[in-house]
Amino acid sequence: MDAPARAWTVAEIEALFKLPFADLLYHAQQVTREHFDPNAVQLSTLLSIKTGGCSEDCGYCTQSSFHAGVENKKMLEVEEVVKAAKAAKEAGAGRFCMGAAWREPNEEDMSTVVEMVKEVRALGMETCATLGMLNDEQTEQLRVAGLDYYNHNLDTSPEFYGNIISTRDYQDRLDTLARVRKAGMNVCSGGIIGMGENLTQRAGLIAQLANMNPYPESVPINNLVKVEGTPLADTEDLDPLDFVRTIAVARLTMPRAFVRLSAGRQQMSDAVPALCFLAGANSIFYGDQLLTTGNPEVERDKALMDKLGMYPLAKKKCH
């Protein structure tokens, strides 16, 4: 993927958000058609390989030991992960993502994850992992294992970050992404909207992503799933059209990235993801469960795609 053709200011991105809705979606659809088949959707399935007990205090997350919303479980066996990956492939997913709830992996963790990556890749699927912070040795281990994508979300803008997380600095996230890029793997990085941030702060998140050199190949946009017991449980609901606008702005500023509808789709009517596809989304998490929150059932997703005349894209394809 080429480096960004320009550097975006937060003010410029905020101006995109403020465009008339029809104009914004029109421009986003034009950009989508320049680089992608507008009716093809990349399908990814996400599996939690290690659930609960995380030492981070992310305000949205049920897996944090600070909120203790989810039981701390041991890591899955390699055989369980391979079985889940085979089922995902049979259901139509082209990419399999493995997520672990911890601050950073230890040596034993890495050994197991490396084996998982090798086995899933042997199935002919793209592989992705989200394991927290990494050092140079760990990124090299994953590269050698054949990991295609590493996910490490920025979550929000630098200015709003301290309202959400205190146990990890923003620079920690940027440093891990830099190591992933240096190792030669594809970057998957996005954020969560609807956490109480204002429009300028939402634009600030997009600016951070779009100004990476190069910007991420995959950009998951999450709509906050409010879970009882987490600090953000009582946050005011996000207007669905603001979510659609965020998708469109991500598409305009990162034209060759896969923009993914991630957490929060289960609460949406079919009209919202339909508008998101029109706004440039071309990837979804596919399957009944994300890490710990629900996701639309596979049959519901298939039915929606059929209604829209859309179909799966099994492999990444940039023009």
Token output for 215: 């910007």
For residue 210, give the nearest of 239, 174, 249, 184 by alpha carbon. Answer: 249
Phi first, then psi: what are they for 134, rounded to 5°?
-130, 150
State yes or no: is 58 an active-site residue.
yes
Distance CA 67, CA 29 (A): 41
Taking a C-beta distance cutoff of 8 angstroms, is the pair 94, 315 a contact?
Answer: yes
Task: Collapse the DSSP code of 30 into the 3-class scheme (helix H, G, I; strand E, B; otherwise coil) and give the result.
Answer: helix
Distance CA 257, CA 249 (A): 12
Phi first, then psi: what are they for 84, rounded to 5°?
-65, -40
Q: Which residues is 219 bridged to in the sheet? A: 259
State yes or no: is 276 an active-site residue.
no
- One DSSP character per residue, 245-267 reads HHHHHHHHHSTTSEEEE-TTGGG
For residue 17, give the nearest of 235, 239, 171, 180 by alpha carbon. Answer: 239
State yes or no: is 188 an active-site residue.
yes
Task: Select which of 95, 179, 188, 202 is catalytic.
Answer: 188
Task: Select which of 173, 260, 265, 276 is catalytic.
Answer: 260
Taking a C-beta distance cutoff of 8 angstroms, is the pair 21, 74 a contact?
Answer: no
Task: Select which of 95, 97, 168, 251 is catalytic.
Answer: 97
Q: Which residues are catalytic?
A: 54, 58, 61, 97, 128, 188, 260
